[in-house]
Amino acid sequence: MNLNVVEEKIDSITNLKQWYYFLNKIYLSPNKYYNLCHNDVINYFSKFGLFVKVTRTALKIIDSINSDFVLGNKKYFEVIEVNNNDVVNFLICKKLNAEFLNLLVTDGNKTIKKTVHMIHGTLHNSNFIRLINEIVYIHCSVFNQEFLEEIKEIKMEKKVIFDVRYNTGGEIKNALDYIKIFVPRGEYNIYLEDFKSEKYVLKYFNNSNYYGTREIVILIGRFTMSSAEIVVSEIKKYANVLTLGETTFGKNIVQKQLKVYNDNFIVVPIYEVKIHGYNNFKGVVPDVSKPSINLRVEKDYNELFERRSCCDLY
């Protein structure tokens, strides 16, 4: 089913019951929908320093690095409401643009109200470049055009570290522009399949001159998601790259946010991206597993390339 048909049918939805019917009878099952889309909530809460588990009808906070919300000796808190929406409604019609969360939670004994503010200026939501002698370190947690232009102004002749450990994805069009920095000139194909098993090809052409004979290390982790995983897999296909870190989240779905009744939004999965080298994609597996990576002094950066020189990349 193509996106136009999906949008047309969604226009007629006026309540949750109709949305469930649409999922189950027309598009894909509610269970599969939640399996594909619950990571949007995980992404969103991580920006507040909250780590959550999500099911069809429940949302649990299992860890926090935000002083606004302290678990103490509790293993988890179950969320009852998010910004005045009950959890079931929130999980279906997500509004993921507020910079604060008004939460109603329970620890099993008592109900608590908490306001949690987004954490700014952390590794989860910042882009920056560091120059360490002959090494260019690019920390990219968001694919945007402004940061892309900054990268293009930097001479990347020798050694490059591309850190996407905290990049939770974004629009695939922006992501494709980042791939072009690292791959040779030419035409490339990304293969897609919809949920009715119809196949499509997304073509992109790179006519830039940024590619060179560079040593590249890409840092990945469990918060590397969605289009960031596509970027990593595409670069790895065509460039001389070592991936280092943790296995990525494992989401290869192209989605579309659509407005429905009462000014709510739903996120509809449209295509599955066929990731090179994976039949059943569960995340990009790093060439070198290293869950903890500390980059404090120049020696830490150089050690990444020492690991790279010890690996057979071909």
272 and 144 co-located in one domain: yes
Q: Is residue 221 part of a domain?
A: yes
Residue range 166-176: mean pLDDT, rounded: 82
For the chain, the helix, strand and coil percentages under 3-state DSSP, each to the nearest 5: 30, 30, 40
Q: Give the position of tokens 């449209």.
A: 270
**58-112: pLDDT as tens digits:** 889 988 878 889 888 888 999 999 988 888 777 766 667 777 899 999 988 899 9
- Co-location of 93 and 196 in the same domain: no
Q: Which of 102, 117, 132 is the last residue of a domain?
A: 117
pLDDT tens column, 270-306: 777 887 666 677 889 998 888 777 776 677 888 887 7
Question: Residue 96: which CATH number?
Answer: 2.30.42
**8 A C-beta contact, residue 229 and residue 283:** yes
Q: Buried b vs exposed e over 197-222: b needs ≥16 C-beta within 10 Å?
A: eeeeebebebeeebbeebbbbbbbbb
Residues 113 and 243 in one domain: no
Taking the C-alpha atoms of residue 96 and residue 267, their distance in angstroms, rounded to an integer, is 10
Q: What is the pLDDT of residue 33?
A: 60
Tell me, yes or no, whether 95 and 128 share the same domain: no
258 and 194 in a common domain: yes
Are 230 and 143 within one domain? yes
Asked whether 177 and 152 are in contact (CB, 8 A), the reply is no
Q: What is the pLDDT of residue 111?
A: 94
Q: Which two tokens stand for residue 97?
A: 């643009």
In a domain, 90, yes or no: yes
Residue 65 lies in a domain: yes
In this prediction, residue 210 carries a pLDDT of: 62
pLDDT per residue over 22-60, tens digit each?
Answer: 665 555 555 666 565 576 787 788 778 888 888 777 889
Looking at the fold, whether 98 and 136 belong to one and the same domain comes out as no
Domain limits for position 101:
3-117
Task: For residues 215-219, give the mean pLDDT.
Answer: 90
pLDDT band per the 50, 70, 90 thresholds, residue 314: very low
Same domain? For 204 and 274 the reply is yes
Number of Cβ atoms within 10 Å of the Cβ of 185: 12
Round to whole Å and give the CA distance between 80 and 59.
8
Yes or no: say if 162 and 216 are a contact pair by the CB < 8 Å rule.
Answer: yes
Lowest mean pLDDT among 62-71, 203-212, 255-264, 274-283: 255-264
Of 235, 244, 243, 253, which Cα lies nearest the Cα of 194?
Answer: 253
Query: Do 57 and 200 fall within a single domain?
Result: no
Does the residue 267 lie in any domain?
yes
The reported pLDDT for the residue numbered 3 is 47
With respect to residue 314, please indicate whether it lies within any of the assigned structural domains.
no
Kindly state whether residues 98 and 143 are assigned to the same domain: no
C-alpha 6: how far from chain center? 24
Confidence of residue 312 (pLDDT cuts 50, 70, 90): low
- Give per-residue pLDDT as tens, 110-140: 999 999 988 755 555 678 898 888 888 999 9
Q: Which of 51, 54, 126 is nearest to 91 (CA)?
A: 54
State both tokens at 258: 């659509």
Whether residue 130 sits in one domain with residue 244: yes
Instruction: Check pLDDT > 60 for residue 146.
Output: yes
- Residue 216 maps to a domain: yes
Number of separate domains in the chain:
2
- Tell me the CATH number at 302: 3.90.226.10
Q: How far apart are CA 269 and CA 35, in angstroms?
A: 11
Show which of 90, 117, 144 is a domain's final residue. Answer: 117
Contact 181, 215 (CB under 8 A): no
DSSP 8-state code for residue 125: G
Q: Which residues, 6+ apart, have CB-to-CB distance to 303 below 8 Å?
A: none
Which of 94, 117, 140 is the last residue in one of the domains?
Answer: 117
Joined tokens for residue 293: 């990576």
- Domain identity same for 112 and 131: no
174 vs 143: CA distance, rounded Å: 6
Backbone angles phi, psi at 310, to 5 degrees: -90, -10
Q: Given the DSSP bridges, would you call strands 111-117 and 127-132 parallel, antiparallel or unpaired?
A: unpaired
Write down the pLDDT at residue 253: 77
pLDDT of residue 147: 92
Beta strands 186-194 and 199-206: pairing type? Answer: antiparallel
